[in-house]
Structure 1
Amino acid sequence: MKIKAYGIKEEGGKAEPFYYERSVGENEVRIKILYCSIARGDVQFISNDWGDTKYPLVPGHEIVGTVEETGSGVTALKAGDLVGVGYQQEACFACECCKAGNEQFCTQQKVIGVHCYGGLAEHIVVDNRFAFKLSPALHSAKSVPLLSSGLTVYTGIVKAQLPANSVVGVLGAGGLGQLAIQFLHKMGHKVYAFSHSLEKKEMINQLGAEFILSSSPGNLSELDKKFDFIISTLNVEYDLDAFLKILKPQGKFCVVASPLKKQSISIGLLYDYAQRTIYGNYVGSRKDMVEMLDFAARHNIESMVDVMSFSEMNEAIEKVRTGEVKIRLVLKNQE
């Protein structure tokens, strides 16, 4: 089948019509795309910030659509099912990681932007094991960011194995941060959100967190050894040491985004009268995805989104690039 997509042919280029051939294999499904997000990560792929973008690039790693065709070996999905697709599209299912249920670490995996085309298209064909059926409780447009951002922060939080009623912090209140706040709040923890934007205070409070203005150094010094857990969703430089100091002696610090430049750290803060932990998290497994979507549906967790049409894709990309959009931007396929 010839798939109509919208590709970027060179570093920093504009999206324009792009066609490619793709048949439906035995274990694959063809999905009619309804919604596709344009996230900061997509813009960084367009700019080749990480140096591994393959052009022509079809961005869009958070997708919601309906199944149109299934391969002969597909039994879990049928035509008409509403599904979500995230960053990862394939895994070998034979390596050590895959056998352990950690297919997100498969060395043979294929991900959007590096190995395969994404959701800025009329259709997409993926392995059915990476197309996840969505509950009717999840609003289609507002559920789109769950497929990557939601999965990433949820998995990072679960890995911390936090005791009940923990004191937790979220650095940043963008797409990742807003979802992290909601997950932590609905899990029953006391949530603080750090942001340099005072105008986000009301939104942060509505999501279930107490706002702390991170641009004021005094606000951090008053919180010495207060936090059980902090998750950083920041992609700009920040004072890592300052936040390690406000962790309890056995506190945990999870990183799900980072500046392009190296961050400095005082290693002594991890072990000096302490046993603090820093760890990162890369998306999540298929099991994590199912659990996250179920948790989101049960607790009415969704993203604040601005919806634009596919015809406005280049305007949308520019808005994300310049930071004009303060919430997640989702494109709706009108065709």
Structure 2
Amino acid sequence: MKIKAYAIKEKGGKPAPFYYEREIGDNEVSVKIIYCSVARGDVQFISNDWGDTKFPLVPGHEIVGVVEETGANVTALKTGDRVGIGYQQEACFECEFCKAGNEQFCVQQKVICVDCYGGLADHIIVDNRFAFKLPSALYSANAVPLLSSGVTVYSAIERAQLPDRAVVGVLGAGGLGQLAIRFLHKMGHEVYVFSHSLEKKEMINQLGAEFVLSSNADNITAINKQFDFIISTLNVPYDPDTFLRLLKPQGKFCLVASPLNKTPVSLGLLYDYVQRTIYGNYVGSRKNMTDMLNFAAKHHIESEVEVMPFHKMNEAIEKVKAGEVNIRLILENHE
């Protein structure tokens, strides 16, 4: 099958028409792409910020589309099904991690932007086990960010095993942060959001959280709370020690993003009279994805999005690169 896509040929380049051949395997499905996000992560892949981008690069790691063709062994999906596809496209299903239900750690996994082509295209062919049928309660465009950002923060929160009515903090209120706020609020927790953007206060309050202006250290230290859990969605430099001090004994600090440069941490804040934990979270398993989509559908959790036509992909990339968007940009493909 000949697939029309849009690829970046070199670091920092712009997408241009690109064609590649891909046959449908027995366990695979061909999906007509209807919506694809342009996220901060895509821009960082274009800039090769992590050093593992493979060019030509077809970005787009959050996708919603419709199944057009299925392989011989596919029984869980049929033509016409609406599906979501995230960052991971393949796993071996034979290694210790796959057998334990942690396919996201598979040593043979293939992920968009590093091993395979993404959603800036008319179609994508993917293992059917990584194409997830969307609950009918979710709107297609608004559900797109759930496929990577959503599963990342949801699985991070699940790993914390929080008590009822926990006191929790979210660092940053961008795409990841807003979804973390929504999930934590609907789970019944007391949510505080630390952001340097005063203009986000109203939005954060509407999502059910308390706003804390983090550009002033006094605002942080003035909080008379001990936190069970703090999740950081920041990819800009900050001081983790400030927030580790807010955690109660045995409190947990989770990273789902990080600055590109090394970030120092005072290790004594983890063990001195406290037994705190720092952990990172990488996307999620297929079970995490299914659980997250069902939870989102039940509680009407979706992202605020700006939808642009596919042909404005360059404009969308530049807007994200310049930090000119507070909500997720979604490209709609009518071709």
| TM-score under structure 2 length normalisation | 0.99
**Cα distance in structure 1, aligned partners of 2:240 and 2:135:** 38
- Among all aligned residue pairs of Structure 1 and Structure 2, give the percentage whose two residues are the same amino acid: 76
RMSD: 0.7
**Cα distance in structure 1, aligned partners of 2:329 and 2:174:** 11
Cα distance per residue 1:42-78 (max 9 Å; x no partner): 0000000000000000000000000000001000000
Letter in 1 for 2:285: S
Cα distance per residue 1:72-115 (max 9 Å; x no partner): 10000000000000000000000000000000000000000000
**Cα distance in structure 2, aligned partners of 1:36 and 1:74:** 24
Question: Could you tell me which residue of structure 2 aligns to residue 31 of structure 1?
Answer: 31
| TM-score under structure 1 length normalisation | 0.99
Aligned residues: 335
Letter in 2 for 1:207: L
SS at match of 1:116: coil
Alignment of 1:1-335 (within 5 A): 1-223=1-223, 226-335=226-335
Structure 1: tracts of 5 or more residues without a match: none
Letter in 2 for 1:130: F
SS at match of 2:259: coil
Cα distance per residue 1:97-143 (max 9 Å; x no partner): 00000000000000000000000000000000000000111010000
**Cα distance in structure 1, aligned partners of 2:225 and 2:78:** 52
Letter in 2 for 1:43: V
**Cα distance in structure 1, aligned partners of 2:89 and 2:154:** 19
SS at match of 1:5: strand
**Cα distance in structure 2, aligned partners of 1:169 and 1:34:** 35
Contact 1:224–1:245 (CA under 8 A) maintained in structure 2: no
Contact 1:31–1:65 (CA under 8 A) maintained in structure 2: yes
Higher mean Cα deviation, 217-226 or 260-269? 217-226
Letter in 2 for 1:59: P
CA drift at 1:223: 2.6
**Cα distance in structure 2, aligned partners of 1:304 and 1:215:** 25
Letter in 2 for 1:128: N
Higher mean Cα deviation, 27-36 or 216-225? 216-225
Contact 1:224–1:246 (CA under 8 A) maintained in structure 2: no
**Cα distance in structure 2, aligned partners of 1:324 and 1:334:** 25
Letter in 1 for 2:43: V
**Cα distance in structure 2, aligned partners of 1:224 and 1:278:** 22
